[in-house]
């Protein structure tokens, strides 16, 4: 199961995973009837009409799958409607494909919405439903009744709901919240709820859906604010993917959430702009967490001091306007990795306030010796950083000895220093591009740095994967 909290969602649950079975079972029994819809004339048919019905249906599924969210949500400008107007055979095929009608969107709460919604629900039988209900937040009071009718109609098919997307504008919010709290959704896997304002009532309504469904896999909370209090309950224990992408979330809320998510595998948090709760001395051990990504305006040392991540493989740290001690931040990270005894493979770093000596201290941490992929978006690279990354000629101690992929941002170093570093890491002991040698390099080099460009051009000609 996954939890996604995102202000800019991508509603991309396009396929049910069982479309091949649905199409095969459907058209083996109906092919003769559909074939009768092909115009019978003496003239030769276009090549596309000679394709088997199953293949035509698969093409339609693909057209529906790659369609943009905006087009798919349209009642008249979507692929299924446009294609159904091409010819009688195509219309017969599309009308006989429940899968194409199982994505239902209602944006305008009006008297015309119910007939369209009813047709979609009938044509989509018996496929799982992906429903989007996003009424106009500026609707007139007289339209509230239409929202109630729409929600009552879709609630009749709650047992088929696979995905549900709701936007809670201020006016009809109570109607939708009542539905979430009063209806059971046994098959729902994906839930996305956006609200103009978040409060405890909205959070609890979403939490009720989580608790009632045994199939939930992904939950998206969208809105301008943070958690406003994390609900407690046993359903957090089965979350495997958590993506918190709100405008503001506190370290205290992140800590509270993690203390309940024992099965999390991937965690992304953005943007942290609140203080940490007091340290209670207890360490949170997440035995399955492999990917951690944090975007923060706050120092993370208090959070790191309370975590143990024995399976951590990928770490992304993006600090913005970070003014606290970088020395303490490096020590807290080093302590976290040492305490976890993990094998970190990928590190992505963005820190617009980190000085060169702090970056040097971080790169020299022994807990990073197994690192394979390094990306430094910021700070701007200097001679010190590139010298630190350069492999010694005399086979002395090398920083990040297993590094294979390196992505570097803008550099203010002397011309030639970047090329020397790349050359030393791609030609070091063991032969060209052996284990532990640089295989991929992404960096920024302007035309004025001709020594760097000449060295990188030579390495690229010899097979090093370089993008600059």
Going residue by residue through the chain (468 aa), what tens digit of pLDDT does each one get? 444 433 333 323 323 333 333 333 444 444 444 444 445 544 566 777 778 888 888 888 888 777 776 666 566 678 888 888 888 888 888 888 888 888 887 776 677 778 878 888 888 888 888 887 776 666 666 667 777 787 788 888 888 888 888 777 655 667 777 777 777 778 888 877 776 666 666 767 777 776 677 777 776 766 655 555 555 655 677 778 777 777 677 888 788 888 888 888 998 887 787 776 545 667 899 999 999 999 988 888 888 999 999 999 999 999 987 667 788 889 999 999 999 999 999 999 999 889 889 999 999 999 999 999 999 998 888 999 999 999 887 767 889 999 999 999 888 889 999 999 999 998 643 344 444 689 999 998 887 888 998 999 999 998 889 887
- Which pLDDT does position 72 carry in this prediction? 63
Quote the Cα angle for 86-92-98, to 5°. Answer: 115
Other CB atoms within a 10 A radius of the CB of residue 17 amount to: 8
Q: How far apart (Å, rounded) are the C-alpha atoms in residues 181 and 234?
A: 18
- Which pLDDT does position 56 carry in this prediction? 85
* Cβ within 8 Å of residue 17, ≥6 positions away: none
Q: How far apart (Å, rounded) are the C-alpha atoms in residues 57 and 96?
A: 10
How do residues 278-324 score in pLDDT, each as one tens digit? 456 678 999 999 999 999 888 888 889 999 999 999 999 999 876 67
Sign of the CA dihedral running 89, 93, 96, 98: negative
Could you please report the per-residue DSSP string of 22-89? HHHHHHHHHHHHHHTTS---SSPPPGGGGS-HHHHHHHHHHHHHTS-HHHHH-SSSSHHHHHHTT-HH
Contact indicator for 308, 285 with CB cutoff of 8 Å: yes
Contact indicator for 348, 317 with CB cutoff of 8 Å: yes
Q: How far apart (Å, rounded) are the C-alpha atoms in residues 429 and 164?
A: 56
Other CB atoms within a 10 A radius of the CB of residue 92 amount to: 19
Q: At 190, is the secondary structure helix, strand, or coil?
A: strand
How do residues 96-149 score in pLDDT, each as one tens digit? 888 888 888 777 667 777 887 888 888 888 888 888 777 666 666 666 777 778
Q: How far apart (Å, rounded) are the C-alpha atoms in residues 254 and 194?
A: 20
Q: How far apart (Å, rounded) are the C-alpha atoms in residues 257 and 261?
A: 6
Task: Write down the pTM of the prediction.
Answer: 0.67
Please name which of 366, 368, 361 lies closest in space to residue 343, comparing C-alpha atoms.
368
- Which pLDDT does position 224 carry in this prediction? 56
Cis bond before residue 304 (omega within 30° of 0): no
User: What secondary structure, in 3-state letters, does 409-423 show?
Assistant: CCECCCCCHHHHHHH
Q: How far apart (Å, rounded) are the C-alpha atoms in residues 467 and 461?
A: 12
Q: How far apart (Å, rounded) are the C-alpha atoms in residues 136 and 306?
A: 44
Q: Can you state the angle between helices 173-182 and 200-212, rounded to 10 degrees? A: 30
* Cβ within 8 Å of residue 275, ≥6 positions away: 250, 251, 252, 298
- Give the residue ranges of DSSP H helices in 261-409: 301-304, 326-340, 356-363, 383-389
Q: At 129, is the secondary structure helix, strand, or coil?
A: strand
Q: How far apart (Å, rounded) are the C-alpha atoms in residues 116 and 131?
A: 13
- Which pLDDT does position 360 carry in this prediction? 93
């Amino acid at each position: 199961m996954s939890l996604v909290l995102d202000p800019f969602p991508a509603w991309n649950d396009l396929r049910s995973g069982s479309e091949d079975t649905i199409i095969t079972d459907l058209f083996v029994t109906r092919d003769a009837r559909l074939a009768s819809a092909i115009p019978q004339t003496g003239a030769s048919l276009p090549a596309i009409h000679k394709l088997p019905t199953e293949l035509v249906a698969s093409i339609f599924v693909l057209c529906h799958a790659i369609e943009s969210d905006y087009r798919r949500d349209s009642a008249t400008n979507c692929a299924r409607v446009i294609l159904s107007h091409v010819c009688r055979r195509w219309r017969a095929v599309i009308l006989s494909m429940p899968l194409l009608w199982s994505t239902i969107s209602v944006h305008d709460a009006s008297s015309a919405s119910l007939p369209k919604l009813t047709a979609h629900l009938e044509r989509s039988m018996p496929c799982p439903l992906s429903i989007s209900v996003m009424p106009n937040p500026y609707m007139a009071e007289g339209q509230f009744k239409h929202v109630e009718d729409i929600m009552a109609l879709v609630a009749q098919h709650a047992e088929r709901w696979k995905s549900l997307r709701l936007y809670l504008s201020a006016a009809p919010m109570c109607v939708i919240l009542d539905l979430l709290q009063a209806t059971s959704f046994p098959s729902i896997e994906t839930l996305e709820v956006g609200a103009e304002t978040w409060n405890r009532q909205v959070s609890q309504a979403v939490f009720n859906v989580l608790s009632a469904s045994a199939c939930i896999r992904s939950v998206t909370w969208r809105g301008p604010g943070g958690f406003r209090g994390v609900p407690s309950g046993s359903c957090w224990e089965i979350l495997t993917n958590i993506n918190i992408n709100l405008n503001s979330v506190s370290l205290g809320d992140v800590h509270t959430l993690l203390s309940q998510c024992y099965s999390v595998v991937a965690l992304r948090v953005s943007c942290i702009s609140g203080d940490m709760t007091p340290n209670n001395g207890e360490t949170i051990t997440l035995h399955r967490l492999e990917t951690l990504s944090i975007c923060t305006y706050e120092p993370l040392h208090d959070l790191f001091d309370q975590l143990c991540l024995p399976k951590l493989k990928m770490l992304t740290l993006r600090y913005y306007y970070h003014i606290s001690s970088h020395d303490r931040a490096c020590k807290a990270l080093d302590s976290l990795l040492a305490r976890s005894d993990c094998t970190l493979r990928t590190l992505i770093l963005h820190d617009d306030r980190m000085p060169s000596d702090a970056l040097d201290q971080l790169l020299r941490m022994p807990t990073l010796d197994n690192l394979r992929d390094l990306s430094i978006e910021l700070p701007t690279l200097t001679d010190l950083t590139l010298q630190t990354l350069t492999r010694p000629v005399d086979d002395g101690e090398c920083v990040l000895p297993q590094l294979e992929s390196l992505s570097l941002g803008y550099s203010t170093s002397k011309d030639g220093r970047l090329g020397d570093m790349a050359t030393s890491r791609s030609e070091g002991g063991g032969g060209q591009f052996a284990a532990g040698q640089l295989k991929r390099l992404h960096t920024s080099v302007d035309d004025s740095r001709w020594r760097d460009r000449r060295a990188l051009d030579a390495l690229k000609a010899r097979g090093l994967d370089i993008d600059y």
